[in-house]
Amino acid sequence: MSTSSYRARRGLRTGAVLWRVEADPGDMRILPDGVMDLMWSEDRFLLAGADTTVMVSSSESGGVTWGLRLAPGTAYALLGVPARELTDQRFELSELIEVPGKVVDTAHGDPAAALEHLFVTLWGQAAPDRSALRRAASLDRAARAGLSVSDIADQHGLPERSLRRVCDTVFGYGPKTLASIHRFQYALHLARSGTPLGEASAMAGYVDQSHLNRDARRLAGATPGELVA
């Protein structure tokens, strides 16, 4: 797998996370992280749906990709497309909506500013239901906390079937999958920060390191050691 450098900051206009990845030529492993992104890559805007397993991006020359991380529920609120229809896929944004030409022109010189401009434009057009976004954020926090499906449903006053339907719409998959992805990412964060794998797996809520190993194979197609190295 190729190497890459990653930088992130808060956008000045939106407060959303803006990120920049510069990748070397070759294949780059992209792991599920429970979020969706607007991106500018190879002179086009893209939408990255939520992933359920590793995605491999290949490039003969490498290059720079800019992205704006969408908060829980925001992709559905802005685009009106259920997240389930976007899962494990990358779309040219122009396939889903009309992208203003002025934004595209700006992106060639200042991708970060263009992504924020695009976000603000879409927000103004969609006028999202803030209560729905607050619920999506609350569901995401519950999944990050490792609550069971039944506990998440009870906490939000929803039958489990309704909870799964809501999560499919705003996240692209059910609450159990979302929780497992957040748990896996937290374990990797701990391990990459220097915590031994056995300790990281326990702190993240795994039964044991073998449990983490199985999730790594399922979500990343690799061992935790390979991902941390």
Query: β-strands 26-30, 55-59: how paired?
Result: antiparallel
Beta-carbon-side half-sphere exposure of residue 45 (alpha carbons within 13 Å):
27
pLDDT of residue 24: 84
Give the predicted TM-score (pTM) of the model: 0.93
pLDDT in tens, the chain (229 residues): 656 789 999 999 999 999 999 988 888 889 999 999 999 999 999 999 999 999 988 777 778 999 999 999 999 999 999 999 999 999 999 999 999 999 999 999 999 999 999 999 999 999 999 999 999 999 999 999 999 999 999 999 999 999 999 999 999 999 999 999 999 999 999 999 999 999 999 999 999 999 999 999 999 999 999 999 8
pLDDT of residue 196: 96
pLDDT of residue 2: 56
Sign, CA dihedral 78-140-38-168, equals: negative
